Structure 1
């Protein structure tokens, strides 16, 4: 079973748009803005929005912003820095990330600190170039327990109109249930290739909800 999972990830998975363990070149930048809409239990709609941005500040330092909000109920805003830890050539690379910001629930807000380690590997398949990224992080929220997070991202970056993308996010805290979120998506390239539209469903176990997510990625 584990071999089948690995082969599936490999076939889906060369530098990606979403950096993970890759640093941005000095002066280059990337932004990702998204909206996810859910059907609520009352027959109406719930939604959340996010904004992710990063820029190559120096050759060995990428800085960025990570923002997410579920209406005005809860959300977070983090600034972060990423540095390369090791480049193993064809075996992949590692990068460390450090961030600080705020987490809010309605009108209450608390400080949050994050530290993480990312692994990334690019390779070729019969369907084109791709990448696989694994991101592990500890998130210290001053009003709650420490969050342990493990995320997976894989996709193809071939020079064509459509490419697949899979994102899996997991989170765990002691004495609480395990949280996961899955996003199988399709990336749609524009003519120049610097802008991509990302469209697909999003499934989360928080309230057993499935939504539709649309995002736009830009490289500068």
Structure 2
């Protein structure tokens, strides 16, 4: 059941940048992204995780969304969130705030979780086309577990080409535990016709020795 929720329930798409963060979804527009990442374990087995991200522009100043992730039915989370604008500094970028509530689980046990995020984003121009960068700082309170401090960075291009690069770096810290980091360089491929974008990339994180392969499908509505 948990696996089904994760597959039905993981990237963002905003005017200009592909990943939102500080940008809100246009009213009555929606976006979904389904991802799967696989890692080869020392014994030859494949460890995988799936994720689903979805968001919908309810109003010009309010975006609602869902963020879910599952690790082989062993542990995961599902979070419903709301994003609102904070400030638009024009050339200096823009800020948005996000508030979420949901649940996290370990096998059959589940507990509540809450998350608050402050995001900054800025578009830029290069010789290869337009691009964007975003920084997300968040506090994630997982009841019966810990308060997690997160700082994430995303940068990529959004040019008229069919192929563009994307880089995502995620970090998290819990006092008394090892610092966690994850780096995901990827290539985005946009077919000539249709609302889909395919993403193929690698993932290296501080928890695993192997490098993972990541595949995502993004879709606009």
Specify every segment of 5 or more residues in structure 1 that has no aligned partner in the other structure, as ranges: 1-13
Taking the TM superposition and a 5 Å limit, the aligned residue runs for 1:55-204 are 55-192=56-193, 194-204=195-205
Question: Who is 2:206 aligned against?
Answer: 205
C-alpha distance in 1 between matches for 2:95 and 2:117: 11
- Aligned residue-pair number: 207
Deviations 1:111-154 (A, max 9, x none): 00000100000111111000001000000011122100000010
Deviations 1:150-190 (A, max 9, x none): 00010000001110000001000000000011100000011
Question: Who is 1:17 aligned against?
Answer: 18
Question: Structure 1 stretches (4+) deviating beyond 6 angstroms?
Answer: none
Question: Who is 1:28 aligned against?
Answer: 29
Specify every segment of 5 or more residues in structure 2 that has no aligned partner in the other structure, as ranges: 1-14
Question: Who is 2:5 aligned against?
Answer: none
Stretch moving more, 56-65 or 193-202? 193-202
Question: Who is 1:50 aligned against?
Answer: 51
State the superposition RMSD in angstroms.
Answer: 1.0
C-alpha distance in 2 between matches for 1:180 and 1:81: 26
Question: Who is 1:11 aligned against?
Answer: none
The question of whether the paired residues in 2 share the 8 Å contact of 1:17 and 1:30 is answered with no
C-alpha distance in 2 between matches for 1:78 and 1:48: 16
- Secondary structure of the 1:209 match is coil
The question of whether the paired residues in 2 share the 8 Å contact of 1:36 and 1:212 is answered with yes
C-alpha distance in 2 between matches for 1:209 and 1:56: 38
Q: TM-score, normalised by structure 2?
A: 0.91
C-alpha distance in 2 between matches for 1:47 and 1:41: 14
C-alpha distance in 1 between matches for 2:194 and 2:17: 12
C-alpha distance in 2 between matches for 1:115 and 1:193: 34
CA drift at 1:40: 1.2
CA drift at 1:193: 6.2
